[in-house]
Amino acid sequence: MQFPDDDNGKMLAAMADAGIDLTKALDVDFFLVFDDQRDAESALEELANSDLDGELELNLNDELGKWEIIACINMVPDYDDLVEQETMLNEFAAEFGGMTDGWGVMQHQDGDDEFMDDDDHVHDEHCQH
């Protein structure tokens, strides 16, 4: 499988190389970061009331020192769809003084009761960790 030579393409290639079936829907976590808690809470409320089909979580990311919304969307990890979703979320986050900080997929290994660390987090040009 060929992927564009950018962060998203490299991540998809690494996932394919790891044996992940990219033709099946996966829970993809998109990360939105905000400096201000109130901005993050306002964005979370707006997302919760939107037509976004996914689970939302708000945390203080101690490593970044920023508020982080994780939008978990079940989708087939198609390059164009990922870029479109990330672009839409980045434009949305900007309305609240935030920005996207990549995406990741948690992998569940057979026999494990817990998910692995967020090692599959894609770091893009906006990433600060």
- The answer to whether the CB of 34 falls within 8 A of the CB of 96 is yes
For the cut 90, the answer to whether the pLDDT of residue 42 exceeds it is yes
Instruction: Give me the DSSP letters along 9-53.
Output: HHHHHHHHHTT--TTS-EEEEEEEEESSHHHHHHHHHHHHTSS--
pLDDT of residue 1: 72
pLDDT digits (tens, 9 = 90+) for 9-29: 999 999 999 999 999 999 999
The correct answer on CATH 3.30.70.970 for the domain covering 7-105 is yes
Q: Three-state DSSP class for 81? A: helix
- The answer to whether the CB of 12 falls within 8 A of the CB of 22 is yes
pLDDT of residue 14: 93
Q: Which of 100, 102, 103, 89 is nearest to 52 (CA)?
A: 89
For the cut 80, the answer to whether the pLDDT of residue 4 exceeds it is yes
pLDDT of residue 120: 52
pTM passes above 0.95: no
Better-scored residue on pLDDT, 104 or 120: 104
pLDDT of residue 112: 39
pLDDT digits (tens, 9 = 90+) for 43-102: 999 999 999 989 999 999 999 899 999 999 999 999 999 999 999 999 999 999 999 999
For the chain, domain boundaries: 7-105
